[in-house]
Structure 1
Amino acid sequence: MSYEVIARKWRPGSFSELVGQEHISQTLLNALKSQRLPHALLFTGPRGTGKTSSARILAKALRCQVGEDFVPCGKCDECQDIGRGSSVNVIEIDGASNNGVEAIRELRDTVAYRPSSGHHKIYIIDEVHMLSTSAFNALLKTLEEPPEHVIFIMATTEVHKIPNTILSRCQRFDFRRIPLTQVTGRLSEICKADDVTAAEDALWMIARQGEGSLRDAQSLLDQVITFSNKEITLDKVIEVLGLTDRRLLVETIEALVERSTDRVVDIVVRVFKAGYDPRVFSQDLLEQLKNLLMVKVSGKRYNEVVDLPQVEIDQLKKIADTLTAEDIHLLFDMALKGAEDLPRAQDPRIVLEMMLLRMSAAPRIQNLLNLKAGVAVAPTTQAPSHAAPNQSAPPQNVAPQQSAPANAAPQAATMAPGSDSEKWLSLVQRIKKVNGVMGAQLNNTFLKSLDGKTLTIGIPKANQFLVDRLQDNEFQKKLRNYLRTYWGQDFQIQVETGDSQSAATPVKLKEQKQQERQAEVRKQVEDHPLVRSASEVFKTKITAIKETK
């Protein structure tokens, strides 16, 4: 006898064996017991969820003469014929290959004939959405008013392709994707019955690849059993099906949470050594981050919203306890951006590497929140300026220049303290307030010497054009008056030219003081705790400081 694959061998034979569709089986059983079964039923849902099997079970329940309470025995000739698809009273039609109007006309001509035995003649039309428009139109009248002994059962995975005129004549039953826990349980039963040793995490991985389809999961199990010689482990499942190791995904998330660049680099190397597809790995990482978020926000109800083995849920819960929901959102958004870039990349490996490294360097949301909270109390800490909040002010040890009216009277005659250069700078600034032209000319000179009552003014070679102006009698007369007013003495003025790199002209002194002030402000800014925190969180450095006015 030829080998029978698991999907056929373990096909459900009664409503109690139907996995994950309790709402369907209970409704049909109640309809049978209360004699309220409609003459046209439409089974719709994803592939491998039990649509055709339910149609056959319903046919057995109607045709079996041995079973009780509409539970088919599965052993009588009628049940055996229906299971093999050879019953003359249960006609199965493949809508994909019999989609023309001629096939439906032939069906319509045979509907009137009564069954050879029993009370019901059943037509099962699989993949009914493949019928042509003309075929649907030919079926309308028969579907609306069939003979009392006829029952139509139609199955489809694409209900949106069926005309509304057909839908309105059928009672619709929606099959759902089967939860992974139920698929895993069914696979475990099959392994025990067939003397196959299987680890629970390996069966869960197979069930996950089935994507809610029990038939797909059974086909994968058949393949893995053949490969592993009836000893199924997680490593063998990963190897034969080419899947991403779930343990590696958890390690990846742990490394991202710890912001460990070294571990991330090691994981990238392992990913490509194992030959994982970067696109598949990124999608699996996205799904695992989604699971992590659901575990975080669902509280104790995580078993209801996350379809994972308990061991993996415990690992995610441990990681989630160290994070905020916003942290997980940030990681998910960055992973999603990377996954969107992968299909467009010439070398997906580069995108995956940069995505993981970028995620490992991302700031923690809690650090940002702490930084934000610190801004509110910044004025009471060591702020870089002593102005009121949201205002700019110079450092405390640098006195801001006070503006004076143009016609202000000269101040009291006192010589400014300090070095000769500072005295000259103070004098020039006072003169500029009352005589801007003279002040601008003196701004490019320096005090070369001050000997008794002789004041020697130096002019750099670059400004020799000022020599004649400063030697003018009227200019010197005004300057002596300013000297008597501000310094309280009368001086003889001499003008000399010279090129000194250290010539402390008021312009250079002003630039020097401005540089010193900027350096002090920069130091105050860099030493401020908020700025240090921001630099640490964002991994940045200060490139420029701008004062607002």
Structure 2
Amino acid sequence: MLQKVDELGYAWRQFCRELIDIYRLLVLFRVVDDLAEIAEATPDELQELKTLADLGPLEDHQRALSLLIKSEAEVAISAFPRLLVEMALVRLASLPAGRDVSALVRKLEELERRLASGGSALPATPVASPQPPPDRAVSDPPKKPEAPLPVETSEKGWAGLVDFVKSKRRPRIASILEQVSPLASGDGVLKVGLVQNSFVDGQLDGETRELLQELAAGYYGTPIKLETTYIEEGAAQTAPSLANQRKNEESDRQKRLRDDALNHPIVKTAIEIFEGEVSEVKPIDKGYV
């Protein structure tokens, strides 16, 4: 149809105005029985318009009319009027039914009323009445709990070594230390585990080992000998590297974030009303969980 309009040299703005006139009459046909005195059309044309008006509810015709009025104003100043008209007709063809929109609005209003009345729309779990405590025989006052023994912590931990190496502006060495698994340290020996033929395995050449030993000696305050041993990739969980620790912490955080979101009363209410499901949970703030 648009190709024929273009071939006839018809003005696109005038074409939009005629569409607007047609939808105006469709709207009027839904509220007025006889348009003979209003519309400049023959009886046959009026009958055809009435048939078109009966194909949809008043709300659909009104929304189509509003869309065409907006498009007509844009066509007047556009360098691509045909494209605008084509897109307007595509939007007209893909408009959802007015009844569906009304149902969605009603559900949103119902959600607002529920949240305003008490937050959660789900029935609250009945709370059992507290039972009176049983009578207790008089006894000596309880002893004060003993303080727990202090836990011995090492000031020269593995994370501290990595931070020390970073402060010396050795990012490549720090990255290697983050990827290996610390196995033992003490008596001048630093033992680490790594997966054979891994990227880190290829980075630990003789020069890198000497530099790492010098940095470790500066951190621990004593000469250090680096020892490496190969471990299975699955066994790395028994002595996780700093990189694996961060990865595990991030996975746990994502799980807690999803659980918190799915258990939120507003989310539960929305799922119940719209009969939907949660496909993805994205954190708003990195430090939220």
User: TM-score category by the smaller chain?
Assistant: 0.3 to 0.5
- If the length of structure 1 is used for normalisation, what is the TM-score? 0.27
- If the length of structure 2 is used for normalisation, what is the TM-score? 0.46
